[in-house]
Amino acid sequence: MSNQRRNFLKGIFATGALLAGNKLWGSSREVISSFESVADPEKKEFTTTDVLKGMPIRATFLDEISWDIPHQNWGYKEWDEDFKAMKAMGIQTVVMIRSGLGKWIAAPFRSLLSREDLYYPPVDLVEMFLTLADTYGMAFYFGLYDSGKYWQEGLFQREIDLNRYLIDEVWEKYGHHRSFRGWYLSQEISRRTKNMSRIYAYMGKHAKQISGNLPTMVSPYIHGVKTDQVMAGDKPLSVREHEEEWNEILGNVEGVVDIMAFQDGQVDYHELYDYLVINKKLADTYQIRCWTNIESFDRDMPIRFLPIKWEKLLFKLEAARKAGMEDAITFEFSHFMSPNSTYLQAGHLYNRYREHFQIR
């Protein structure tokens, strides 16, 4: 049925059509004629078609230290189980979202403890995650420190310095792990911020130099309808404005960012494909690898946040596939897609995902 799909997707994925916004999934007559529901009650089979193919998720963030997701209180045993489940789903890369936020840090980093008033951490999460990544043959990316306070003009040099010392310490102490494969620039930025892009530039450059040019990743967000700012009355960025602003930002960080994985949850589902196409175009211009950061939590519900509906995840995975994303990382597996999650909806999402991609 691949020909039919090709025709169908040609129909609905033509950028023009989508930008015009008057053609969507299955809304054209071709689709309807090409795709009969294959539901078969006898076989207890109720999936409709293979219209939605999607691309696989091969990476996840590790959300420690967390910003707005409640903690699961896992120890080594539980994390070991979870890395096993990631592996079984096809995850090859884990990205520690940050090594610290404000006073909370993920390991007793002398470089930070000696310079800032921080809470002394009871666990060395970096050593633990690297050990697990070694065990399961995964790649580990180290997320930098986010002070949460040195962002404004005049102060951000402090953010850079703290991270430079941290990078030195971390590489010396943990660099020997064979799973240590990259750096994550954790400061999330959206609209053009001279400071932040400069921070990216400095930190990224230093991290690459000291580590023999290991790749660096960023995961910005689109200033879309589901950002807190826009929900609070701010105007969302149009696709064109998004392209202009990020063209400038990426110009500022040329050569120090290797992977760009935009968060995919701040725009509406029918808008996503257009933004992804632009992100890919921008990435190609600056020779950056273009991943998608596919959010596995649901932004549309009063409870903020529980696992996303499988249908929504699949829709986004298909949009990403069609837009030519090179890889997909999710935020994040352990709360929202894991059979070990304390949110039981996540285990069901894990099963739906494995069924769809026929992962036994």
If the CB atoms of residues 108 and 324 are measured against a second copy, the closer one turns out to be 108
Residue 174 lies near a second copy (rule: CB under 8 A): no
Cis bond upstream, residue 305 (ω within 30): yes
Q: Per-residue contact track with a second copy, 278 to 317, x per CB under 8 A?
A: --------------------x--xxxxxxxxxxx--xx--
Which amino acid, one-letter code, is at 272?
L
Taking contact as CB under 8 A, which single stretch among the options 43-51, 200-208, 284-292, 326-334 is the one that binds a second copy? 43-51
Residue 2 lies near a second copy (rule: CB under 8 A): no
Cβ(237)–Cβ(220) below 8 Å: no
If the CB atoms of residues 3 and 114 are measured against a second copy, the closer one turns out to be 114
Residue 48 lies near a second copy (rule: CB under 8 A): yes
Nearest distance from C-beta of residue 210 to a second copy, angstroms: 21
Nearest distance from C-beta of residue 9 to a second copy, angstroms: 11
If the CB atoms of residues 57 and 282 are measured against a second copy, the closer one turns out to be 57
Which amino acid, one-letter code, is at 67?
W
Cα separation, 248 vs 245, whole angstroms = 5
Residues present in the chain in total: 360
If the CB atoms of residues 31 and 201 are measured against a second copy, the closer one turns out to be 31
Closest CA to 218 of 166, 191, 253: 253
Nearest distance from C-beta of residue 24 to a second copy, angstroms: 4
If the CB atoms of residues 68 and 153 are measured against a second copy, the closer one turns out to be 68
β-strands 104-105, 100-101 pairing: antiparallel
Number of residues counted as binding a second copy (CB under 8 A): 79
Taking contact as CB under 8 A, which single stretch among the options 101-109, 141-149, 201-209, 211-219 is the one that binds a second copy? 101-109
Cβ(103)–Cβ(119) below 8 Å: yes
Angle between helices 76-89 and 344-356 (to 10 degrees): 30
If the CB atoms of residues 62 and 290 are measured against a second copy, the closer one turns out to be 62
Cβ(94)–Cβ(139) below 8 Å: yes
Cα separation, 118 vs 225, whole angstroms = 35
Nearest distance from C-beta of residue 247 to a second copy, angstroms: 30
Kindly state the tokens that stand for 72.
């699961």
Nearest distance from C-beta of residue 279 to a second copy, angstroms: 21
Residue 76 lies near a second copy (rule: CB under 8 A): yes
Residue 128 lies near a second copy (rule: CB under 8 A): yes
Residue 15 lies near a second copy (rule: CB under 8 A): no
Binding to a second copy (CB under 8 A) within 259-278 occurs at: 269-270
Kindly state the tokens that stand for 268.
């509406």
- Residue of 56, 104, 168, 239 that binds a second copy (CB under 8 A): 104
Residue 127 lies near a second copy (rule: CB under 8 A): yes
- Residue of 11, 56, 90, 121 that binds a second copy (CB under 8 A): 121
If the CB atoms of residues 208 and 356 are measured against a second copy, the closer one turns out to be 356
Residue 69 lies near a second copy (rule: CB under 8 A): yes
Binding to a second copy (CB under 8 A) within 205-234 occurs at: none
Kindly state the tokens that stand for 56.
């696989």
- Residue of 5, 23, 181, 198 that binds a second copy (CB under 8 A): 23
Kindly state the tokens that stand for 203.
């930190």
Closest CA to 130 of 119, 138, 118, 121: 138
- Residue 62 phi, psi (nearest 5): -110, 110
Task: Say which residue the tokens 């990078």 belong to.
Answer: 167
Residue 124 lies near a second copy (rule: CB under 8 A): yes
If the CB atoms of residues 130 and 257 are measured against a second copy, the closer one turns out to be 130
**H or E segment to which residue 142 belongs:** strand 139-143
Task: Say which residue the tokens 């809470």 belong to.
Answer: 119
Q: Strand order in 104-105's β-sheet?
A: 104-105, 100-101, 145-146
